[in-house]
Each structure stands twice: as C-alpha cells, then as structure tokens.
Chain A
C-alpha cells in the first residue's frame, strides 16, 4: 500500500504573526522527505498565499495536507464570506483587501492567481455566506 503522510493545521483569523506557520511546517516536512526544491517552493507559495487569504478575508480556517509519492494534495477550507465573483477574484491585480492590509504588503490581487500558477490542479468551491474551499495538488515528477 502507498504511504500517505497526513497533516492538519488550524489557521487563526486576524493573526498575521501566525500566518506562514502551516506552510513553514509543510516546507520542513517536504525537505526532510528529500522532495525537490522546485516542488517545495510551489507548495510553500500556494499554501502561504492560502493562509494569508484566510487571515485577511475569512477569519481563519483549516488546512489538510496529504503527501504521497505522487504529489502533495492540499485542502484549504474556511467559513468566511465566500467569493461572489470567482472569475474576477482570479484576475491578477483584482483585490478586495482593505487599505490596512495593503499597508502590510498584501492586497496586490495576486493571491489566487499565484496559487493557481504554482499548483498542477486547482479547484475552488465557494458560496457567499458559507465559505470557500480550495482543492490543490502539486505533482511530484
């Protein structure tokens, strides 16, 4: 049977100091497993952007990661406001982040486009008033 490593993280809302903890931990785990730097970078960027989105927009959320010999699967789920127009949210440069977030260096409208760019599979499930879940996969060649 194929070995699977499962990891679970809770991302607290409105706490920028903790954002990056989950992606940092996954990065360390992948390094220990000897995964290639390119794959590690892709996973880390996608997850960190996801974490930041949860902190900025959704009051936190939860992340599940599954590492197999074929790739890294991530599910990032929040119970935030949901995304009214996914097509617009996927457009580079479009952002609904408030000014105080922009002052921190975020809100460039690159979050979701970056996540898509650095993953091999990208699926988004969202409903206004219910929340958003991203299903991501990065292949290990």
Chain B
C-alpha cells in the first residue's frame, strides 16, 4: 500500500506533499524521539503528536514512510517548511493512535 492510498482509505488530511510511490510496510507509535529513532523501521507509518522540526529529523533518519499526527495535533510552520524541503510527508487525523493502529493493521 502506498502513502497516498493510506491517506485516502483513512481519510487523512494531507499537510505536506506526498511522495506518490512511497510504500507503507509497517506502523510505529510513539512521541519520545530517542525511542522512535531507535525502534521505528524504514517504511513505517509513524503515529505521533510531535509536529516539530525534530520529528522531521527523526523521520529522515528512520526513513519512515510518513508521519500521521494523531488527534489533530498541530504541525508547526517551521516543521512544515523543513518537511517540504526534506521530502517528509505529514498527514493528520482526528482519531487517536490506537484507533489508527487498528485500521492500519487491517490495511497492510
């Protein structure tokens, strides 16, 4: 499944540009960045409330497929600019990490 398909199926709001062909292969949920950078895998959808520049750096580092901001957590302007520059996709949902994880597990 691609990030674009995931966004459509889960009705996620697209906050930064989507790389059409990027594949989603797994899912990881967490807000502590040191934890995420050591545990998240390439191709994961990363569920978090962290919409700051550090989340962008961690996404680049882990090569996760995209970041989904849960429970409508905000993406700050600086992070948005950095994400666009580095090709990191931010999506957003009003649902919480548990609800999204359950849905994603059904899809991938």
Interface residues of A (CB under 8 A from B): 16-17, 19-20, 23-24, 27, 37, 41, 44-45, 48-49, 52, 104-106, 108, 110-111, 114, 117-118
Q: How far is the CB of A103 from chain B (nearest CB, A)?
A: 9
Interface size bucket, B side?
20 to 34
Q: Can you give 13 contacting A-B residue pairs, CB < 8 Å?
A: A20-B61, A37-B42, A49-B34, A104-B54, A105-B32, A105-B50, A105-B54, A106-B32, A106-B34, A108-B34, A110-B34, A110-B35, A117-B38
B55 cross-chain contacts in A, Cβ below 8 A: 105
CB–CB B61/A105 < 8 A: no
- The main secondary structure of chain B at its interface with chain A is helix
Complex Cα gap A23–B16 (Å): 23
B50 cross-chain contacts in A, Cβ below 8 A: 104-105
A106 cross-chain contacts in B, Cβ below 8 A: 32-34, 54
A111 cross-chain contacts in B, Cβ below 8 A: 34
Contact pick for B38, options A37, A45, A105, CB 8 Å:
A45
Complex Cα gap A23–B60 (Å): 10
Q: How far is the CB of B69 from chain A (nearest CB, A)?
A: 13
CB–CB A105/B60 < 8 A: no
Contacts A105-B50, A106-B33 given: A48-B57 contact, CB under 8 Å? yes
CB–CB B35/A27 < 8 A: no
Complex Cα gap A110–B30 (Å): 14
CB–CB B38/A20 < 8 A: no
Q: How far is the CB of B54 from chain A (nearest CB, A)?
A: 6
- Residues 5-33 of chain B: 1 if any A CB is under 8 Å from the residue's CB, otherwise 0? 00000000000000000000000000111
